[in-house]
Structure 1
Amino acid sequence: MIDINGWSVKLQIILIMIPFVIGVSGVSGVAISACIAGSASFYIAISAIKSNPYLEQMKGFWGMGSFKSRWLLICSVCGLVTFPGPHLRRGLLSPEELDNFPVKLRRRMVISVWLTIVGLVWLAIFAGLVELTEYFSKS
């Protein structure tokens, strides 16, 4: 087991703050997609992609009235613009629509997805470390 009590106080504080800083990044990613869902950018994002059958089906299924349905649709579009490769290879997304997608909105969506992924990965690592610590402390 590593004993951090001998480390400098500044280093101990930094070590304690790292999980919170990374956790905030995950919350920030969710907040960015929520802001997009609640603004006029929602209609721009939804109208920019018409060739994806899944997104078109979900528009009809979820509707666009409630905030929850708008946020779920935006999360779907975020996935499409962040990881377009599989959709393009299967013909489920038009390359022209992807090229014509507004650049600033696309950048915000990609940042949102990556912040959420980083926060989720850190949460999984942190939970695993807590479980391992509990496991080894019982031994």
Structure 2
Amino acid sequence: MDLNPAAWPLLLKMCFLFGPFFVMFVGMGMIAYMACRDLDKVLGGFPQSQIITSYADAWRGGSLVARYTVMSIVISAVIWPGKHLRKGHLNAEELNRVPVSIKRRMQVSAGLLIFGFVWFAGFFVLVELYE
């Protein structure tokens, strides 16, 4: 197969153009699902973690966008806790008590968003290389 996107069939071009957005949309949907279903349970497990409680107090009660924002902050703190643990903004014991099923959904949703972005950026670079 030729790497030049101009030589690809239309269906393949469309898949490579819209596929990343579909993958990212699924990841965003998973975060919205967790924001509606699991946010209160997750926030209840972090009473001493400053990074989570500070945002939760400001954004918790409100619209789906507010809950989505808090869930995104919690996901980033749970998946990449290093900096927050070093600075003392995140309690390691509370982090270890996050239910495995919720943590797995967090990892999958973040992975889908990252994968979709990398896919789109790679396709964009490929198109720019062959222009």
TM range (shorter): 0.7 to 0.9
Distance in structure 1 (CA, Å) of the matches to 2:22 and 2:80: 23
1:15-48 superposed Cα distances (whole Å, 9 cap, x missing partner): 7635544442222111100111122x12111212
How many residue pairs get aligned? The number is 130
Name the CA shift for 1:60/1:13 in 2 (closer, same or farther; >3 Å): same
Structure 2 unaligned spans of 5+: none
SS at match of 2:61: coil
Name the CA shift for 1:5/1:35 in 2 (closer, same or farther; >3 Å): closer
Larger radius of gyration: 1
SS at match of 1:50: coil
Which residue number corresponds to residue 129 of structure 2? 132
Is residue 23–residue 122 contact of structure 1 (8 Å, CA) maintained in 2? no
Does structure 1 residue 43 correspond to structure 2 residue 40? Answer: yes
Is residue 60–residue 70 contact of structure 2 (8 Å, CA) maintained in 1? no
Distance in structure 2 (CA, Å) of the matches to 1:57 and 1:96: 18
Bigger shift: 15-24 or 64-73? 15-24
Which residue number corresponds to residue 72 of structure 1? 69
Aligned 1:87-126 pairs, distance under 5 A: 87-126=84-123
TM-score (ref. length: structure 1) = 0.76
TM-score (ref. length: structure 2) = 0.80
Distance in structure 1 (CA, Å) of the matches to 2:52 and 2:126: 38
SS at match of 1:38: helix
Structure 1 unaligned spans of 5+: 135-139
Which residue number corresponds to residue 84 of structure 1? 81
Name the CA shift for 1:3/1:68 in 2 (closer, same or farther; >3 Å): closer
Which residue number corresponds to residue 25 of structure 1? 23
Is residue 29–residue 111 contact of structure 1 (8 Å, CA) maintained in 2? yes
Q: Percent identity?
A: 30
Runs of 4+ deviating beyond 6 Å: 4-7
SS at match of 2:89: coil
